[in-house]
A and B are shown apart, each in its own frame.
Chain A
Amino acid sequence: MDSTEVTKKQPVMSTSIMSAKNVDVFYGKKQAIKNVSLEIPENQITALIGPSGCGKSTFLRCFNRMNDTIQTCKVTGDIRFAGQDIYNPKVDVVALRARIGMVFQKANPFPKSIFENVAYGPRIHGLAKSKAELEHMVIASLKSAGLYNEVSDRLHESGTSLSGGQQQRLCIARAIAVQPQVILMDEPCSALDPIATAIVEELMESMKENFTIVIVTHSMQQAARISQKTAFFHLGELVEFGDTKAIFTNPNDQRTQNYISGRIG
């Protein structure tokens, strides 16, 4: 990775790992995303914010083609991962999703043991060559997700028996275990209490060393706390995209101004 020198005047720079250009998304005839272009910098946290129904989650799900599962949904435009067009017919969505993982709004552990939840990804992708290696990967992932100390003595109990915050961290561990480059997070803390939220935010901060994170959040404070870049969506349009600090202190657009001061929402 080539690092660029950061001067005071220049914004935070980094290589972009994903880019979107002129992306439109339709649900049947209804257009949910209108001509959105942006770049996701590597090993940083990019936050997508905006009022509910603005299309930020829809846009997030374009990055690993989770929208494919919805039959009426149609995506046009150019989305690239490491320079490759991910909507190219040659691209295998299974491979794509192994590179670009996802964590959902509501924690959705499988009704299996904690161990099996985390081992699921390495198993299907054949990442571990031996049982010992698999065990090692599961433990490492749980450690990365900051969950290992809490569950080390009950790895074989059901994942659904954990508390809400723990379940969400289990889902993050599960995503990490596949060793993706990018992790998409769709309002991962919206169902959590403030303490659990703080733990997850801390976790994300530590994760960005190894992963690129794109997070959709309805909480502006969260975006301000954790992200380096922020994109503000309104009615399917990307209103403003830039350094988080700049967006929150000195927005260019009146709509952004209104939103962060609480007039839209």
Chain B
Amino acid sequence: MPDYQLTTSPSLRKRHAKEARFKWYGRIAIGLSLGFLVFMFLAIILRGAGAFSQTKIYLDVQFDEQIIDPTGARNPQDLARANTKPLLTQSLSIIFPDVTQRKDKQRLYKLISSGAVYELADQIQGHPEWIGTSRHIWVTASADVDLYMKGKIDTSLDENLRKLKDRDVVWVDTLKAEGKIKKTFNTAFFTNGDSREPEMAGILGATLGTFFSLLVCFAIAFPLGILTAVYLEEYAKKSWLTNLIEININNLAAVPSIVFGLLGLSIFLGVFHLPRSTPLVGGMVLALMTLPTIIIAARASLRSVPNTIRDAALGLGASKTQTTFHHVVPLAAPGMLTGTILGMAQALGETAPLLMIGMVAFIVDIPGSVTDVATSLPVQIFLWADSPEKGFVERTSAAIIVLLVFLVLMNLLAVFLRKKLERRW
């Protein structure tokens, strides 16, 4: 008797249940991966958001000429090196007159960042007319005070377990009650170089280091990548040489990045004696790393230009080179550019090879050219992540946020260019 039943039988129900389960495994896998992504972003943003504000203390500073510029010469270099510490301690003593013991005073002065003296000296250099007057200015507070103001220090904890002692808390609360302490936008984070003090540390040095490295990387990798792609796609005939080049490109794309760092260390530094720790060498290493990415993207882009264009140009009597560079390359340019930007984005986040060529030092100065010693944004993140001071945790997260913003911008630019310029044949 033939079976004509078309509705779901019990055994079929089991099979359908299996199917539903299988589908859910896929959803769960995607959910877990993306959930992790969201969790990571949230954790970093929550930790890093605090770094964009900085606690400052309002002080009435007497710009005593005797202390700042006893000669009265107003020499800018001397002003920048002026001893401003007494000015700050005096001002604090005005607010807390009853702190008289030497030891207590020293604790009191620790409310202010140890970097505040340099900030003040810079301000005096910019405003020599302040000397001899008295002004109210906002001065950067120490990292511990900053953490306390941001609610990141648990004062119910035993005093010995935290850096900010009960007395410090009382002082800060007094300042708070008098409106002499507040959180402001942390411009120093964007205008300072690295520092041992979390409250003084900024990312400008690292960002410029990254910028110069990428500049060098682009200047090398872009022309090299594009010309290699042009050769392989437009000129080269199949031969052992082109075969070798292709195998090389494919394998280079998968070589661990740290190996490129070692290449830079032994060849660029060891053999050519290029300056260590500089964006020049960093950029060269990154260029070799991103080269495969750019070549592969540029080739795909050249391949998408239809042969009719080449035939048309050749048919008009253009030479191979004229055809290629007047017609084919301009048409492939948007794709090449997007590929290059994506390669640069990859180079932007690269850390390991830069460690190998010494871009990992503690560098306070802001680099001004590709041959100045520098670090880079991801390396700065690595360095700060390694610092024991609690204040660096939020700096690290904030630097990551900045890095991710740069990455997103570059990717958006690539997407935009692709949408805007790329032609569909």
Direct contact of A and B (CB under 8 A): yes
Instruction: Provide the residues of chain B in CB contact with A90, threshold 8 Å.
Output: 7-8
Residue B388 interfacial (CB < 8 Å)? no
Which of chain B's residues has its CB closest to A124's CB?
B15
Q: Are A92 and B4 in contact (CB under 8 A)?
A: no
CB distance from A101 to the nearest CB of B (A): 13
A83 to B8, CA, bound (A): 17
Residue A126 interfacial (CB < 8 Å)? yes
Q: Are B8 and A99 in contact (CB under 8 A)?
A: no
Q: Are A95 and B2 in contact (CB under 8 A)?
A: no
Q: Are A95 and B5 in contact (CB under 8 A)?
A: yes
Q: Are B7 and A92 in contact (CB under 8 A)?
A: yes
- Pick the contact of B4: A94, A99, A124, A126 (CB < 8 A): A99
Q: Which chain A residues numbered 149 to 190 have a C-beta less than 8 Å away from chain B?
A: 181
**Most-contacted residue by chain A among B2, B6, B8 (CB, 10 A):** B6
Q: Are A84 and B2 in contact (CB under 8 A)?
A: no
Which of chain A's residues has its CB closest to B6's CB?
A91
Instruction: Provide the residues of chain A in CB contact with B7, threshold 8 Å.
Output: 90-92, 95
Residue A138 interfacial (CB < 8 Å)? no
Q: Are A92 and B6 in contact (CB under 8 A)?
A: yes
- Pick the contact of B6: A96, A124, A126 (CB < 8 A): A96
Q: Mark B8-22, 1 if CB is under 8 A from A, else 0.
A: 110110011000000
Q: Which chain A residues numbered 96 to 136 have a C-beta less than 8 Å away from chain B?
A: 96, 99, 124, 126
Instruction: Provide the residues of chain A in CB contact with B3, threshold 8 Å.
Output: 99
Residue A264 interfacial (CB < 8 Å)? no
- Pick the contact of B16: A94, A124, A181 (CB < 8 A): A94
| Count of chain B residues with a beta carbon within 8 Å of a chain A beta carbon | 12
A181 to B4, CA, bound (A): 8
Given A94-B16, A99-B3: A126 and B8 within 8 A (CB)?
no
Instruction: Provide the residues of chain A in CB contact with B9, threshold 8 Å.
Output: 95
Q: Are B2 and A181 in contact (CB under 8 A)?
A: yes
CB distance from A228 to the nearest CB of B (A): 20
CB distance from A62 to the nearest CB of B (A): 15
**Most-contacted residue by chain B among A83, A84, A91, A95 (CB, 10 A):** A95
Instruction: Provide the residues of chain B in CB contact with A66, threshold 8 Å.
Output: none
Q: Are B11 and A81 in contact (CB under 8 A)?
A: no
Instruction: Provide the residues of chain B in CB contact with A84, threshold 8 Å.
Output: 4, 6
Instruction: Provide the residues of chain B in CB contact with A96, threshold 8 Å.
Output: 6
Which of chain B's residues has its CB closest to A95's CB?
B6
Q: Mark A76-93, 1 if CB is under 8 A from B, else 0.
A: 000001111010001110
Q: Are B2 and A81 in contact (CB under 8 A)?
A: no
Which of chain B's residues has its CB closest to A88's CB?
B6
CB distance from B2 to the nearest CB of A (A): 6
A94 to B3, CA, bound (A): 14
Which of chain A's residues has its CB closest to B4's CB?
A82
CB distance from B4 to the nearest CB of A (A): 4
Instruction: Provide the residues of chain A in CB contact with B8, threshold 8 Å.
Output: 90, 92, 95
- Pick the contact of B11: A86, A99, A126 (CB < 8 A): A126
A90 to B6, CA, bound (A): 8
Instruction: Provide the residues of chain B in CB contact with A124, threshold 8 Å.
Output: 15
Instruction: Provide the residues of chain B in CB contact with A126, threshold 8 Å.
Output: 11
Instruction: Provide the residues of chain B in CB contact with A82, threshold 8 Å.
Output: 4
CB distance from B143 to the nearest CB of A (A): 58
- Pick the contact of A86: B2, B6, B12, B16 (CB < 8 A): B6
CB distance from A91 to the nearest CB of B (A): 5
Instruction: Provide the residues of chain B in CB contact with A95, threshold 8 Å.
Output: 5-9, 12
A92 to B4, CA, bound (A): 12
Q: Are B2 and A94 in contact (CB under 8 A)?
A: no
Q: Are B5 and A94 in contact (CB under 8 A)?
A: no
Which of chain B's residues has its CB closest to A181's CB?
B2
Q: Mark B232-244, 1 if CB is under 8 A from A, else 0.
A: 0000000000000
Q: Which chain B residues numbered 1 to 56 have a C-beta less than 8 Å away from chain A?
A: 2-9, 11-12, 15-16
A95 to B2, CA, bound (A): 13
A82 to B15, CA, bound (A): 24
CB distance from B88 to the nearest CB of A (A): 72
Which of chain A's residues has its CB closest to B9's CB?
A95
Instruction: Provide the residues of chain A in CB contact with B15, threshold 8 Å.
Output: 94, 124
CB distance from B336 to the nearest CB of A (A): 35
Instruction: Provide the residues of chain A in CB contact with B4, threshold 8 Å.
Output: 81-84, 99, 181
Instruction: Provide the residues of chain B in CB contact with A94, threshold 8 Å.
Output: 12, 15-16
A99 to B320, CA, bound (A): 63
**Most-contacted residue by chain B among A83, A84, A92, A181 (CB, 10 A):** A92
CB distance from A198 to the nearest CB of B (A): 30
A21 to B16, CA, bound (A): 30
Q: Mark A47-84, 1 if CB is under 8 A from B, else 0.
A: 00000000000000000000000000000000001111
CB distance from B12 to the nearest CB of A (A): 6
CB distance from A96 to the nearest CB of B (A): 5
Instruction: Provide the residues of chain A in CB contact with B16, threshold 8 Å.
Output: 92, 94
CB distance from B21 to the nearest CB of A (A): 16
A126 to B7, CA, bound (A): 17
Instruction: Provide the residues of chain B in CB contact with A99, threshold 8 Å.
Output: 3-4, 6
A187 to B156, CA, bound (A): 82
CB distance from A99 to the nearest CB of B (A): 7
Instruction: Provide the residues of chain A in CB contact with B12, threshold 8 Å.
Output: 92, 94-95
A91 to B6, CA, bound (A): 5
Instruction: Provide the residues of chain B in CB contact with A181, threshold 8 Å.
Output: 2, 4
Instruction: Provide the residues of chain A in CB contact with B11, threshold 8 Å.
Output: 126
CB distance from B297 to the nearest CB of A (A): 31
Instruction: Provide the residues of chain A in CB contact with B6, threshold 8 Å.
Output: 81, 84, 86, 91-92, 95-96, 99
CB distance from A196 to the nearest CB of B (A): 30
Q: Can you list 10 pairs linking A and B with CB atoms under 8 Å apart?
A: A83-B4, A90-B7, A91-B6, A94-B15, A94-B16, A95-B5, A95-B6, A96-B6, A99-B4, A126-B11
The 8 closest A-B pairs by CB, nearest first: A82-B4, A92-B8, A91-B6, A95-B6, A84-B6, A96-B6, A90-B7, A181-B2
| Besides A82-B4, A90-B8, A92-B16, 8 other A-B contacts (C-beta < 8 A) | A90-B7, A92-B7, A92-B12, A94-B16, A95-B6, A95-B7, A99-B4, A124-B15
